[in-house]
Amino acid sequence: MRAVLSRPKLVDQIAPKIKPKSRTHPKRPAIHKLEIVSILLRVSAEVAGKIDCTKCANCCKEMGPRLSKRDVGTISQFLGFTPEMVVSKYLKERKDKAGEYLASKIPCPFLKKNRCSIYKVRPKGCKSYPHIKNAESILRLVDIAGKSSICPIIAGVMDQLKAEISNTLRSPQK
Ligand code: SF4
Ligand code: SF4
Interval 2-17: pLDDT, tens = 544 445 566 677 767 6
H-type alpha helices, 57-131: 58-62, 69-79, 83-90, 124-128
* Mutate-to-test residue for ligand 1 from 46, 52, 58, highest number of ligand atoms within 8 A of CB: 58
129 lines ligand 1 (CB under 6 A): yes
2 lines ligand 1 (CB under 6 A): yes
Rounded distance between C-alpha atoms, residue 58 and residue 71, angstroms? 21
Residue 104's pLDDT band, with cuts at 50, 70 and 90, is: very high
Answer whether the bond into residue 130 is a cis peptide, omega within 30°: yes
Helix (H, G, I), strand (E, B) or coil at 96: coil
* Mutate-to-test residue for ligand 1 from 44, 108, 153, highest number of ligand atoms within 8 A of CB: 153
**Mean pLDDT throughout 66-75?**
96
Query: Atom of ligand 1 at shortest distance to CA of 2?
Result: 7
In this predicted model, which residue has the larger pLDDT, 42 or 105? 105
Query: Atom of ligand 1 at shortest distance to CA of 54?
Result: 5
* pLDDT tens profile 115-145: 999 999 999 999 988 877 666 777 777 566 6
- Compute the distance from residue 117 Cα to the ligand 2 centre, in Å: 8
Q: Residue 167 in contact with residue 29, Cβ under 8 Å?
A: no
In this predicted model, which residue has the larger pLDDT, 47 or 89? 89
Question: Is the pLDDT reported for residue 164 higher than 90?
Answer: no
Mean pLDDT of the chain: 81
pLDDT value for 9? 67
- Compute the distance from residue 38 Cα to the ligand 1 centre, in Å: 22
Q: Which residue, judged by its Cα, is nearest atom 2 of ligand 1?
A: 151
153 lines ligand 1 (CB under 6 A): yes
